[in-house]
Amino acid sequence: MALVVDPNLEMVPDFASNLYAGIRTDLKAATNQTGEEVIACLMETWNADHNARVVEWNQDREAEARREAEAERERTEAEKKKPKMNGFEHASSVGDYLTPCPAQYAIQKLTNFEYVELWYFLLEGCKDALKSSHSVADNDMSITRTDDQLTLWPTSAFKVSKVAMADHELSFSIFLRAKNLFLVQISKAKWPQPNIDALLLFFWHLENHSIRNNSEIGDMVILTYALRVHQDWHDCLKCDEGFNIGNINENLIWTINEELWDKVRSCTSNIVCTQSKINIKQTC
């Protein structure tokens, strides 16, 4: 049974006092020891028992302290996991502009540091996400984890949009609009700042690249470069073979330029050939 009184507070009994006279007499008769030897024996026995109880008491206190520390740690962890509502400034109000919210599919991609099409960060993409989240036709739910919190979302919110467009299918002006919200969202997703800075530089270089002014298909070249390099960057990061996406590879840009011009020339040749056949048939 656990001790309830601290043995460290106990005083050594006075075994030479009259209170212990009967015990001394009995022990002298039983052991043939002198009075002094009996008192010494009583002291030794008491000290041994006292020291054992002190050790037991200290062990009990240490165990109790460990239990309390563990309970406090569990309370602290439980408190961290509780949903928290932040405060606000009483003089503040809603802003003049509300940032559109992309689909959970896109947000989850960013949370996992994966590539996602910029279309999801356009107003059209955000409206499509809002329409999907309001749909009552799909009752299936999915569970996501964010900051150790589990959240239920409609399964449709995590599906690829049927109307999503690849980056190179966007016009250049729309591409630039989309990347603005994309950069905001990756910051909210807590991407490493060096990665965000590299993407900022990536988009800046593409927007200001000279080929846009020196080639009739310059915008398409840049959009194609952006798509391919952005996807490859994510793939390489997953394999721990990442590169600085902010460093533009001019050789690759001109390779893509030639590739697209070949397609233009091939398409033009096919059109001319088809038109010639039509003219021949009409002549005959």
> What pLDDT, on the 0 to 100 scale, is given for residue 100?
78
104 and 45 share one domain: no
156 and 235 share one domain: no
Q: Which domain holds residue 133?
A: 99-165
113 and 153 share one domain: yes
In angstroms, the CA 23 to CA 15 distance is 9
161 and 218 share one domain: no
160 and 198 share one domain: no
Quick check: is 104 in a domain? Answer: yes
Whether the per-residue pLDDT at 155 is higher than 60: the answer is: no
> What pLDDT, on the 0 to 100 scale, is given for residue 140?
58
Quick check: is 146 in a domain? Answer: yes
36 and 105 share one domain: no
Quick check: is 85 in a domain? Answer: no
207 and 269 share one domain: yes
* Average pLDDT value for residue range 256-263: 94
The most confident of 50-59, 132-141, 152-161, 194-203, by mean pLDDT: 194-203
Tens of pLDDT, residues 206-222: 999 999 999 999 999 99
In angstroms, the CA 50 to CA 262 distance is 98
Domain count along the chain: 3
* Average pLDDT value for residue range 42-62: 92
Confidence of residue 195 (pLDDT cuts 50, 70, 90): very high
> What pLDDT, on the 0 to 100 scale, is given for residue 143?
56
114 and 58 share one domain: no
Domain boundary among 165, 182, 204: 165
> What pLDDT, on the 0 to 100 scale, is given for residue 137?
47
284 and 199 share one domain: yes
Model pTM?
A: 0.59
Quick check: is 89 in a domain? Answer: no
> What pLDDT, on the 0 to 100 scale, is given for residue 252?
97
The Cβ of residue 21 has, within 10 Å, a number of other Cβ atoms equal to 12
218 and 145 share one domain: no
Tens of pLDDT, residues 96-153: 887 778 888 899 999 999 999 999 999 888 888 877 765 544 555 555 555 555 555 5
Quick check: is 222 in a domain? Answer: yes
Residue bearing the bigger pLDDT, 280 or 194 = 194
